[in-house]
Amino acid sequence: MDKIDTSSIPATTIIERNNSQSSTDSLITPPIENPYLKPSIELNGRVSYLQDFEDLPQGRHLGLFSTIILFVSRILGSGIFSITSGIYKDCGQSIYLFFLAWFIACVASFGGLYVFLEMGSVVPRSGGAKVFLEFIYDKPKLLATVAFSVYSVIFGFTISNVLVFGEYCIHALGLEITDFKTRFTGLLFLYFTAIVHGFSVNHGVKIQNILGGLKLVLVVIMILSGLYVFLPKSINQIDSQISWNDVFKTRKQVSISTFSSAVIKASFAFSGWNSVHTVSNEIKDPIRTFKIAGPVSLIIMTITYFIINLAYLIVIPDEELANSSTLAGSILFEKLFGKVLGQQLLTLSIALCAGGNIFVVLYTISRVDQEVFREGYLPFSKFMASNWPFGGPLRSIILSCSITTFIIVVFPHGDIYSYMVSLEGFPMSVATGLVAIGIFIIRKNYPDLNAPIKAGLIGTLSVIIINIYLTIGPFVSKYSPNPTGLENWPNYGLVGLFCILFCILFWYFKFRLLPWLGNYDLVVEEEKLSDGLTIKNWVKVYKGGI
């Protein structure tokens, strides 16, 4: 039987002192056996996965149905209720370009899903994009790991959901919507969420589960509402706002940069498809479960989004839809079901749905940040990683709330929601594109690899092309891709690119330049805190005993 050479498989990085090594290359990986790198050899000599399955203490408890529910609840956020107006405006109020943007986002999501499914099948460990990138791009040492970790902390905020919650609450109460009221209301709920999660992990999980169940109810309401709109006028008494003559009409100016912004916004509505891989270790029979749950969940949400977007166009007049800001969902329900049921009850339900996202996102962010601080890359890592005194990552929660508050308070008037959605989407487009390119790198480096789940060639190439377009799109037009009111604000693509470069420079200074200038090596040491949590410390060991 043929054997595969496993010596080139990237092992977990371990740093040790080596006086004979050049000072410009302080980080080395000693030739020790990594317990997680156990290629599975099939009878024909081919390899089915490159890392062994890793089980957590809580065991694998998520079955097929639970994983589908998890996928759907992660995908269905506030986007479909609040992002439609921004997409429609970016597409020049063209119905054809509007659905084209959604179609491209859908193709990118399905292609990206299978890219992640293949990577998750050969590297079946929790962590998602971070794990995949550090496995694919293992050189230079720690670059992918540190850069993505720092990026996770920088973008550890939940601004879009805070704004949607505030605006929908104010609208449901029948009050005049202002920037101050919207931001103040959203921040109050954010602080409430932080207190619950920070002081009682169990109560926080219970509340987010209840609010997560509301999302599934809203999915049913959305589908039924859309189907109701399609009934004859004699039944629903609705005057259609579109006709076939309007489909290819472009009412406003549209450019490559604004259309790329529209695709990023539409991708934001699908964005939960890549988050379930962060809990791969908790899923029963992950290969089979992901193979079924991923596509089924995306198909459900694609149908739902198509129905509800068509309902928006049929029910809401063109200019009203374009200028509805984040309130498209509320306007639709109000026109269909009246002031009491539509504007108040269902609008409040959407607000609570966004509130559920705040609970979930803050919960997830705090744990991701805590894991980053446990690795010891950032200043004050020991203090920030601790679970003291309430058994949860309170300090990471406070950090996330502080970043969110700072941006919301200092941001000028304008469509901050659309801007932040585009800004958050830009680095993720880069990361997704790199993972897709990594599929071909892995296949080349491991020709005997027979992945349990395969990403199609056309789909993978589509992901690469689309994400390249989304990466360069903001820079190829003389018109600003930023939303209304923020045209003079820095291009969101430029800000996103700066953040990526900052993460890379952080790695370079900490792990390359400073050790070279200071003539020292960085040695990692583990420390167990009083709360039982194990963290890593990076200790300077000067060469020559200095």
The structure tokens 């659309």 sit at: 418
The set of residues, in sequence order, having a beta carbon less than 8 Å from that of 86 and lying 6+ positions away, is 262, 265, 415, 417, 418, 421, 483
Structure tokens at 115: 């890219």
Where residue 19 falls among pLDDT bands split at 50, 70, 90? Answer: very low
Helical packing angle, 64-75 and 201-229, nearest 10°: 80
Please choose, from the candidates 270, 234, 229, the residue with its C-alpha nearest in 3D space to the C-alpha of residue 116. Answer: 270
Please choose, from the candidates 340, 180, 232, 314, the residue with its C-alpha nearest in 3D space to the C-alpha of residue 328. Answer: 314
Report pLDDT digits (tens) over 387-398.
777 777 888 889
The set of residues, in sequence order, having a beta carbon less than 8 Å from that of 220 and lying 6+ positions away, is none
Ramachandran quadrant class, 345 (left: phi over 0; alpha: psi -120 to 50; beta: rest): alpha
Report pLDDT digits (tens) over 150-164.
998 888 888 888 988
Please give the Cα distance from 300 to 238 (Å, whole number).
Answer: 26
The reported pLDDT for the residue numbered 545 is 57
Whether residue 16 has pLDDT greater than 60: no
Please give the Cα distance from 107 to 103 (Å, whole number).
Answer: 6
List the beta bridge partners of residue 535.
Answer: 527
Please choose, from the candidates 85, 39, 106, 79, the residue with its C-alpha nearest in 3D space to the C-alpha of residue 451. Answer: 39
Q: Give start and end residues of each alpha helix (H) in 271-415.
A: 286-315, 318-322, 328-338, 347-374, 381-385, 394-410
Q: What is the pTM assigned to this prediction?
A: 0.76
Exposed e or buried b per residue across 283-310, where buried means at least 16 C-beta atoms within 10 angstroms of its C-beta: beebbebbbebbbebbebbbebbebbbb
* Residue 436 · residue 464 · CB < 8 Å: yes
Helices (H) and strands (E) in the chain, counts: 21, 2
Whether residue 286 has pLDDT greater than 50: yes
Report pLDDT digits (tens) over 91-107.
988 999 999 999 999 99
Please choose, from the candidates 130, 80, 134, 127, the residue with its C-alpha nearest in 3D space to the C-alpha of residue 102. Answer: 80
Find the helix or strand (DSSP H, E) in which 521 lies: strand 520-528
Please give the Cα distance from 519 to 178 (Å, whole number).
Answer: 56
The conformation of residue 123, written as its DSSP 8-state character, comes to S
Q: What's the N-to-C CA distance of the chain in angstroms?
A: 52
The conformation of residue 473, written as its DSSP 8-state character, comes to G
CA distances from 99 to 50, 52, 304 (A): 40, 42, 14
CA distances from 248 to 93, 96, 168, 196, 244 (A): 10, 5, 32, 49, 8
Domains of the chain with CATH codes: 64-116+158-500 (1.20.1740.10)
- Tell me the pLDDT of the chain averaged across its residues: 79
Please choose, from the candidates 307, 46, 392, 324, the residue with its C-alpha nearest in 3D space to the C-alpha of residue 168. Answer: 324
By three-state DSSP, how is residue 257 classified? helix
* Residue 330 · residue 171 · CB < 8 Å: yes
The reported pLDDT for the residue numbered 387 is 77
Report pLDDT digits (tens) over 449-502.
788 888 889 889 998 998 898 888 888 877 778 877 777 888 888 999 999 999
Report pLDDT digits (tens) over 26-36.
333 333 333 33
Mean pLDDT to the nearest integer, 331-352: 80
Report pLDDT digits (tens) over 418-435.
888 888 888 888 998 999
